Structure 1
Amino acid sequence: MEFRHLGRSGLMVSEISYGNWITHGSQVEEDAAAACVRTALDEGVTTFDTADAYANTRAEEVLGRALKGVRRESLEIFTKVYWPTGPGPNDRGLSRKHIFESIHGSLRRLQTDYVDLYQAHRFDYETPLEETLKAFDDLVRQGKVLYVGVSEWTADQIAQALKIADSMGFDRIVSNQPQYSMLWRVIEGEVVPLCEKEGIGQVVFSPIAQGVLTGKYLPGQPPPEGSRATDPVGSTFVSRNLREDVLTRVQELKPIAADLGLSLAQLAVAWVLQNPNVSSAIVGATKPEQVRDNVKASGVRLDAEVLRRIDEVLDPVVERDPGKTRAMSPRSRPQ
């Protein structure tokens, strides 16, 4: 496993992070989830990403139990706040009240005194940004949070936050967690250039496009049983890439991966890691062998000719529109 700085901060993170969005607390049994975490640790993964809203807080509980007994200083634990965690009007968003209540709940479920990175899971249009950033900064001063970041914010939103932090002396954002893959490149137009300039690293999710870039979804055939496309939550996100033209072109990547001695999943994860602004790529898993396969992408270098061949295959189906990066309703499902 290789390691990178999280943005311009001093924090080192594993190139491959383990995330438990759908899997822990909902899609797989706890024993299977724990086995995946142990495998990730065995393979050198030190960075673990979750969120309070995943599986209605159960994902944090599962991860906390799975990591119990592991030397805390050897881990980087990331979580997030914003999505609803209860029925009340203050059980969501980025108000000071919800942020403080959420971090205490997350620390309890994760069985830790602090998180290495606390992320605003989306931009909150209903709360003054100054209030949100002050609450984050107070948590840093209290030692409950070491670094702060955001997830799926636009370049303009990140720029606003940096301007306020600089003017008020708050800790700056060090990371952004966007969706990024060979098929979904919307951050390249505006977000990445700004973040490179400002020292913010990307911790990207869905590098294998919810499983589409593994090649397991075949054109003209129904999704495999038990796949994300058959899960009520996961299918919401994977459906846009289940078009025949996308699936056909993904199959055309197989010779490229084979020439490099890689699986399609390894090629997909390695591809996002070629972007120097990417600090880590989050992978999820329902089986330990999926973890072992994905981590082999760490340290892989793809030369210019390989990148050209990938673009030649995928260009007609790649999404690059920066307008696709928008905050969603507080009642939408989290990622």
Structure 2
Amino acid sequence: AAGWPDNAVTPLVQGQCLEAAGRLTEAVDIYSSYLRVYPDAPGAGVVAVLPGRVAGGEEDRHAALARGLAQMVISDLSLLGRLRLVERIELDALLAELERAAAGRLDPATAPRVGRLVRAESVIQNLLVIDDGSVRIETLVTRGPDSNATIETASGSLSRLLEMEKDLALMLADRLAGPLTPAEERAILENGPESMAAFLDWADGLLLEDRGDFAGAAQAYRRAARIDVGFDDATDRSRAAAAAVSVIGRSPSEVIALGSQAERAALSVSGDATRSALAASAFEVAPLGPELALGGMGGVGGALTPGALQTTPALPLDVVLRILVRIPR
């Protein structure tokens, strides 16, 4: 146990091996021992990307840019198996903490507190300074138990934002995960949209989804997917957002019925392991009402208007099944 703080992967791997062998009690003991002895130790290779901020220009208008930039960084770094990105839903619970930071600037004192709360070894926060068609990205990176902070700055025209994001992602990847292989670098460079127009629609969708407007988000994602047909994330998110609208618009009894249908559909899938996993996921979600079933998506269903629900067509079962299976993660 003495070496655990310097190599937190050790108890994790030990625990996962015990889980795979069916020795669940011993796995729990390994995890619990680590947390008891080192309750504040950050997870090795765990990275938290905080919501971006905007300064200058029209902050409300450009909020989607900051949201999209943060999500693209998360998406790019997630391609590296050596890193684990903290889920956004975990960070959403800490937004009140972020509000303690001074408006319009990066706060090196805030990131360490958030990092400790989500047990992240590294914390990233971006500030976009926009002025008359140009943008400056200031990136605060806080690492390690001593909360060593560095700020990287990049400037260029707003039309080059996607290129700047890739430069930023490669820099962060090298710093947090070590030298990249040519395949890893290529994967990052090829990830995401090729079109700035598609990125803007996708970023609008992210912001609308954050605000609980799943119908508007689905439309924005579909626009992004039409502009850039290879932008798979936009397609996936459009389906998930549309499915969310379908679930929100149903009564609790209808959601339970959908869950039962999803469970029956899962049981028809070939392969015992896959069928079992799908059935278990569908069963977990089936008893939940719409307001609870959507909690795992980080959205606020109340923002949808009755009109939006009435104009949304019913979705095929496979789309609903997709969201039902993803919720328990």
**The two structures share one fold, judged by TM-score above 0.5:** no
TM-score by length of 1: 0.32
Q: Compare the two structures and name the one with the higher helix fraction.
A: 2
Q: Which has the higher contact order (CA 8 A, sep 6+)?
A: 1
TM-score by length of 2: 0.33
Larger Rg: 2
